[in-house]
Amino acid sequence: MSGSALDLVREYLLLGLRFDRLIEGFVDAYTGDAALRRQVDNEPRPDPAALARRAAQLRAQLPACGLPEPRARFLDAHLTALECSGRVLAGQQVGFVAEVAAYFDVMIEPGDPEVYRQAHAELEALLPGAEPLADRLTAYRARDEIAPERLEPAVQALSSALRDRVRASFGLPEEEIVHYEVVTDKPWSGFNYYLGDFRSRVAINADLGHRMANLPHLVAHEAYPGHHTEHCHKEAGLVRKEHHTEQTIFLVNTPQCLMAEGLADLGLRAAVGPGWGPWAAEILDDLELRMDGELDERLETAAAGLLGVRQDAALMLHDQGADTEEVLAYLQRWLLVPEARARQMVRFLRDPLWRAYTSTYVEGYRLLRSWLQARPPGHSLSQRYLRLLDEPLIPSVVRAELAQRSAS
């Protein structure tokens, strides 16, 4: 790699680390040169407008730096995101849809209420009764909740079983490990802290009343074959073998996040597939936890039709000027959740760092689900999913492959 390319990648890393000085948590993970982190820590607090200008300057230098096209394309998309973050943090007016597009390389729009009505009809059929559907669903989910003191053993059992499957299907470094901890008072349900050297710490928020039906998805999402597995694969391949040092940093509000959340949300499908409900029920039964695996799987499949509701709520808050009570009512109506759960969602949507982040789950799942389904003849789901773990793909590249596949 040429000196100019090395310099540009180094400047990209410094830029990302400087954003973390403005808003704690902007750097989700950094496993690169510790000297760069120390350099940034010893600098004065940066000016966000200056960071935006620097992102634009680096982006303008990309065509002449000699990086191969996939790496240049990856950096171009991420510098676009950082330029927008700098502008937003500097107080410049950026429309919410444009902000999401710059961050995540995707255009968003409101969902179709007819799709939500169909999901409600499917849920009605699965949970018949005279009470309102929201009450029936809340009661069923309450029965499915797991006591906080039993949460960690259940997570460990599911993690062990998923790890065995992922090791067989996708491969894992021998030394990789995940440590779990139960926390409270967080805006998210779970969070992966990748520590480097194939190690992760996964925090699980006990405040949310986790359900047995949700735990397999949570463990798959955060660890096997989700975030932890992706970090391990990219560190082993792109970083250590191919020296793509831009992959040593993972930044919030960039296209990395949409790809990572999409592949993580599809993790249980990739690792277990249909029948995950009875599979998980058998594992939890060994802990004397009773889960109706077949019904839970069918309910979760039907509820997937409500995926876009949270993105609608974000658009209402940040694009349409709706007040909090209106958004709460919308979430309760379409997602069929109690007020307390809706308020937790709004808390996430109003967080300065996470306000746009809901689109990564919605659009990431939709895009990568379509891409996995559109795999070439003879390619297994595992082979297709492995590309997500190993390659520095961005949403526009995935969309182009889908378009090419549709045209052929």
pLDDT tens-digit readout, 149-190: 899 999 999 999 999 999 999 999 999 999 999 887 776 778
- Supply the DSSP symbol for 180: E
Residues 115-130, mean pLDDT to the nearest whole number:
97
Q: Do both 157 and 257 map to the same domain? A: yes
Cβ proximity of 268 and 276 under 8 Å: yes
Does 102 map to a domain?
Answer: no
Q: Which two tokens stand for residue 309?
A: 């509701």
Mean pLDDT value of segment 312-322: 97
Is 117 in the same domain as 38? Answer: no
Rounded percentage of the chain residues whose pLDDT exceeds 90: 89
Mind listing the pLDDT tens digit for each residue in 247-290? 999 999 999 999 999 999 999 999 999 999 999 999 999 999 99
Please report whether residue 311 resides in a domain.
Answer: no
The string of DSSP letters for 299-360 reads HHHHHGGGTTHHHHHHHHHHTS---HHHHHHHHHHHH---HHHHHHHHHHHHSTTTTTTHHH
SS3 content of the chain, % helix, strand, coil (to 5): 65, 5, 30
- 223-262 as b/e: b if 16+ CB within 10 A: bbbbbbbbbbbbbbebbeeeebbbbbbbbbbbbbbbbbbb
* 131 and 67, same domain (yes or no): no
Alpha helices (runs of H) in 170-308, residue ranges in sequence order: 215-222, 227-234, 255-265, 267-271, 276-285, 293-303
**Do the domain assignments include residue 258?**
yes
End-to-end CA, the chain: 35
Q: Residue 85 sits in which domain range?
A: 3-94
211 with 238, same domain: the answer is yes
Same domain? For 225 and 370 the reply is: yes
- Decide if 189 contacts 344 (C-beta within 8 A): no
Do 151 and 80 belong together in one domain?
Answer: no
The answer to whether 109 touches 82, Cβ cutoff 8 Å, is no
Name the least confident of 67-71, 182-186, 190-194, 394-398.
182-186
At residue 251, what are phi and psi to the nearest 5 degrees?
Answer: -110, 135
pLDDT more than 70, % of the chain:
99
Q: CA-CA distances (angstroms) from residue 294 to 221, 306, 347?
A: 20, 20, 33
**Alpha-carbon gap, residue 249 to 37, rounded angstroms:** 11
Regarding whether 275 and 147 lie in a shared domain, the answer is yes
What are the residues whose beta carbons fall under 8 Å from the beta carbon of 287, sequence distance 6 or more?
A: 150, 153, 154, 157
Mean pLDDT, rounded, for 345-353: 90
User: What is the C-alpha to C-alpha distance for residues 117 and 113, in angstroms, rounded to an integer?
Assistant: 6
Instruction: Indicate the DSSP class of residue 288.
Output: T
CB environment 105-133: b (16+ within 10 A), e (fewer): bbebeebeeeebeebbebbeebbeeeeee
Whether 90 and 231 share a structural domain: no
332, part of any domain? no
Q: Give the domain-ending residue among 24, 59, 94.
A: 94
Let me know if residue 103 belongs to a domain: no
pLDDT greater than 70 at residue 309: yes
Q: Are residues 361 and 398 in the same domain?
A: yes
| 33 and 169 both lie in a single domain | no
Residue 196: which H helix or E strand, with range?
Answer: strand 190-196
Q: Do 126 and 206 lie in a common domain?
A: yes
- What whole-number distance in Å separates Cα of residue 402 and Cα of residue 404? 5
In this structure, the answer to whether residues 176 and 64 fall within a common structural domain is no
Average pLDDT over residues 299-308: 96
CA torsion through residues 312, 313, 318, 323, sign? positive
Answer whether residue 333 is part of any domain. no
Residues 201-205, mean pLDDT to the nearest whole number? 92
In whole numbers, what is the pLDDT of the chain averaged over residues? 95
Residue 335 falls inside a structural domain: no
In a domain, 315, yes or no: no
Number of structural domains, the chain?
2
